[in-house]
Amino acid sequence: MNYFIMTQDERIAQAVVPTGVFDVIRQEWLTPDYREELEAAIIQFDIQRKSENIYLDFLDRPIPLYSDRLKTIIHKFAPKLFAKSVVLADRERIRQDLYWLLVLPRIACLSERSEFHQNGSLKRLVLDEAKIARHTIFQVEGILEPHIIIDLRLAEALLRRDFFGIRLKKVERV
């Protein structure tokens, strides 16, 4: 099976940017161990003021957020994923948009062929396909980068629809 890193399209300079994220939630809440804290929280982020804000289907900075349309497709492939609703508020334009925070499983699937820089950052990502099992969307355990990996079936489903602001990059595998 082929796998892809899903990222926000950085070519779209006017993409909406949530602010004050870590004033509202803690970084460790982005793991399955803190599901109860997320369930109890009411999450709303203001957005950075810009002359124009473009609402993409996938935002990966400062945390991954998925549009309602994107979440619907992902849940068809991975129905057991925990999703928490998040509101992005543009107070200046009196606008609110629904996004989703998906808590993805972290899979220890790094191949020995993966390469790292001296500071521990990833130089070359190689996945061990045998360790991935049947996961459709996940994050890689053991790396500093918060890469979101999707399988070929989900990638094809995304490409068949008119999602905006998503880039896919093929990952090496053994």
Determine how β-strand 65-67 pairs with β-strand 82-90.
Answer: unpaired
Answer whether residue 27 shows pLDDT above 90.
Answer: no
Give SS3 for 152.
helix
CB-count burial class (<10 Å; 0-12, 13-18, 19+) for 27: exposed
pLDDT in tens, 45-71: 999 999 999 999 999 999 999 999 999
Mean pLDDT of 132-147: 94
pLDDT in tens, 87-120: 999 999 999 999 999 999 999 999 999 999 999 9
Omega before residue 146 within 30° of 0, cis:
no
The average confidence (pLDDT) of the chain is 95
Angstrom distance (rounded) from CA 80 to CA 32 = 12
The band of 32, judged by pLDDT with boundaries at 50, 70 and 90, is confident
Determine how β-strand 148-151 pairs with β-strand 166-173.
Answer: unpaired
φ, ψ of residue 79 to 5 degrees: the values are: -65, -20
Angstrom distance (rounded) from CA 51 to CA 61 = 19
- Rounded to two decimals, the pTM is 0.93
Angstrom distance (rounded) from CA 68 to CA 86 = 10
Count of CB atoms situated within 10 Å of the CB of 106: 16
Mean pLDDT of 142-162: 96
Mean pLDDT of 120-135: 95
Angstrom distance (rounded) from CA 28 to CA 9 = 25
CB-count burial class (<10 Å; 0-12, 13-18, 19+) for 125: buried
